[in-house]
Structure 1
Amino acid sequence: MRKALYQDFTRKARNRVLSMVGLLVFVTGYGTLGFFYIEGITLWEAFYMTVISITTVGYGEIIPLSHTGRLFAVSTIFLGVSSSGIALGILSNLVFEETLIKYFWGKRMEKAIENLSDHYIVCGSGTTGSSITEELLMLGEKVVVIELDEQRAHPADNKECYFLHGDARKDDVLEAANITKAKGLATTLSEDADNVFVVLTARDMNPNLKIVSRFKDQDTEKKLMTAGANHAISPYRMGGQRLALALANPVLLEVIDKPFRQRGMRIQFAQVKVPEKSPIIGRQLKNSQIREQSMGALIVGLVEHNGETVFNPDPEYRLDRVSQLMVLGDDEQIQSLRLFVHDAGE
């Protein structure tokens, strides 16, 4: 990204310097030829008269000027002063314009991203990407957003959100997002083929990365999973399911939505990893002391080592193969459960 910004700045600088030089050549040529034809002097004398006119140094005329020559000299002075103002504006705009600001902002942003770890990468900041970023920030996660549209790639108010202007399909951009130290990536580009390419590239660069992708066409889902995505989700399908639920069972939709969507509400779903030496390993769920030690957190599901998910586990379930707990509770309950499961087992 920094290289792209630098190239953009140097390109604009070169074009504007050429514009300034072209303007200077035009004014000088205008004055030189005018004095040459009007006063019948040599080209060198005409050039000298032009220079002292447009620079307004006030050295005086080297030859007596006719009435027409003096009128022409006035026009040359006005043209020279105007050109100087235009050149100054071009130079000022080059120094202070958005391109240079973005270049230095990009350098600071990339430096900050280099020190990140256990963060999430969101490719695309459209409607879906912005929603993902907002949800992750609400959960207290660090997020790097990669966006190709320069108008969307802007600094965020949240200090845990970092923006990169670049093409998420390119290796160097994903490297700039520190993908090797990230723990998850979501790609929400508008074209399914681009999302497949991002998934392929990301999986190759970080085999342990958790990857999710959106898709539009049904045939793309299998390709995304083959490319290495952990989950492939269609916003249209999910939207249809939620609309149907809102019609058929609005109360259930409200129960599902509130923990995720309502700001300020303490109840939330969370995943708690279970270490191998955790004190709950080998116990039955009813004797694990999870509810007592977590001050009432509700276990709604378990994830086993083979990836299978057990919802609403039986109280007799033995916690031998569990790798994660799916919990419903407030911040304090979830934090207490994490301390119990991790600290006691270390």
Structure 2
Amino acid sequence: MIHLPSPARGPLRALSTRLVAAVGLVLGIVFVVFLDRDGYRDVNEDGLTLLDCFYYAVVSLSTTGYGDITPISESARLVNVIVITPARVLFLIILVGTTLEVLTEQYRTNARLTRWRRLLKDHVIVCGYGTKGRSAVAALRENGFDTRRIVVVESDRAAVRQATSDGLVALEGSATRSSILADAHVKDAKAVIIATDTDEANVLVTLTARQMTAGKVRIIAAAREAENAPLLKQSGAHQVIVSSATAGRLLGLSTSAPPLIDVVEDLLTPGHGMALALRSADRAEVGKSPRKVSELVIALVRHGRVLSLASPECAMIETGDLLVYIRDDTAAPVETTVSRDAS
């Protein structure tokens, strides 16, 4: 099931509101008729009971009008003209309006879904919307990635609701199923981020994504344990992030070199000081030393390999190189311009 973000209230809530209004209108008419029950004549001529008042109200508001109960006094007829007739029109508006609203909402949803499917391309699929998945989406947003090109695949309904409330398109289902990834247009995706709760599920999702894309879509997977990283790479992941090893190394650095932790935290905290960024080398920069670029370049990415500035290969910038640099994150982030093949 595909959930599109929408600020409007749900159809169930709209139906409930209209149902309450209809019941309240019936009760109001019953009260008015019961107060003036002596002004009505029943075919049995035994007077109106409370049940008769309910019956007359429902029959009148629904425009059925059997005629077995009729107003005979001037006051009862005046109430029918001033109160019951407008209430009858309002009751029909509630019923017809509810049907039209439901049909309109269904048409609007189908139209939005069709348009979303038609325009979905070069998007990022995030499998799992837990802590790691939400952080990955936050990082994409911070780098200027269009939110409309982020698709979340999650089996937990609470997480799906959280994703849609965050303005994302969410597919409810397991990412291990090829049909779910097909609904997410995995073949047209730019990248697949796999961040489910377990390494076993990550391996299955990676295998499924690789089989469906034939390795043409970049797959980034998270692993809790370092021993599972080689298995994920063998399954088809282009890059594996080991959360436990990374956290352990940071804990170790916090003891031996505390200032380094402050630098890393600054780089990873959005909108605070420094941030890592990636861009393609300009034509004017080709042939120059990375140290002479206006930004503070710390590495080059050449043919998919990360090269340190200390390497002799980094003496000059070549055509197609990607520059890894540190930017001032206090300014508004700009979208990273990297070609699909290079990424």
TM-score (norm 1): 0.59
Measure the CA separation in 2 of the matches of 1:156 and 1:178.
21
Match of 2:115 in 1: 111
Q: Does the C-alpha gap of structure 1 residues 204 and 211 become closer, same or farther in structure 2, counting only changes over 3 Å? A: same
* 1:59 Cα offset (Å): 9.3
Measure the CA separation in 2 of the matches of 1:318 and 1:91.
74
Match of 2:199 in 1: 192
Match of 1:299 in 2: 297
Count residues in correspondence: 271
CA displacement 1:202-250 (0-9 Å, x = unmatched)? 2223222111122335554333222211122232332222222223212
Letter in 2 for 1:131: S
* 1:255 Cα offset (Å): 1.7
Measure the CA separation in 1 of the matches of 2:313 and 2:131.
44
Do structure 1's residue 151 and structure 2's residue 161 form an aligned pair? Answer: yes
Match of 1:166 in 2: 172
Percent identity, aligned pairs only?
23
Match of 1:121 in 2: 125
Query: Relative contact order: is structure 1 or structure 2 higher (C-alpha 8 Å, sep ≥ 6)?
Result: 2
Is the contact made by 2:126 and 2:193 (CA closer than 8 Å) also made in structure 1?
yes
Task: Give the alignment's Cα RMSD to 1 decimal.
Answer: 4.9
Measure the CA separation in 2 of the matches of 1:240 and 1:103.
52
Which residue of 238, 245, 255 corresponds with 1:237? 245
The gaps in structure 1 that reach 5 residues or longer are: 5-11, 21-55, 82-87
Do structure 1's residue 310 and structure 2's residue 313 form an aligned pair? Answer: no
Letter in 1 for 2:208: T
Is the contact made by 2:202 and 2:222 (CA closer than 8 Å) also made in structure 1?
yes
CA displacement 1:59-111 (0-9 Å, x = unmatched)? 9544455x8x9576467669999xxxxxx9999889879xx969945752662
Is the contact made by 2:124 and 2:189 (CA closer than 8 Å) also made in structure 1?
yes
Is the contact made by 1:144 and 1:163 (CA closer than 8 Å) also made in structure 2?
yes
Match of 2:89 in 1: none
Measure the CA separation in 1 of the matches of 2:231 and 2:118.
31
Measure the CA separation in 1 of the matches of 2:133 and 2:220.
12
CA displacement 1:160-207 (0-9 Å, x = unmatched)? xx3223223333432343322322111112233332222122222322
Q: Does the C-alpha gap of structure 1 residues 92 and 253 become closer, same or farther in structure 2, counting only changes over 3 Å? A: farther
* 1:119 Cα offset (Å): 2.7
Match of 2:88 in 1: none
Measure the CA separation in 1 of the matches of 2:106 and 2:122.
26
The gaps in structure 2 that reach 5 residues or longer are: 5-11, 20-36, 61-92
Is the contact made by 1:199 and 1:211 (CA closer than 8 Å) also made in structure 2?
yes
Letter in 1 for 2:260: L
Measure the CA separation in 1 of the matches of 2:116 and 2:328.
28
* 1:134 Cα offset (Å): 0.3
Q: Does the C-alpha gap of structure 1 residues 221 and 110 become closer, same or farther in structure 2, counting only changes over 3 Å? A: farther
Is the contact made by 2:225 and 2:245 (CA closer than 8 Å) also made in structure 1?
no
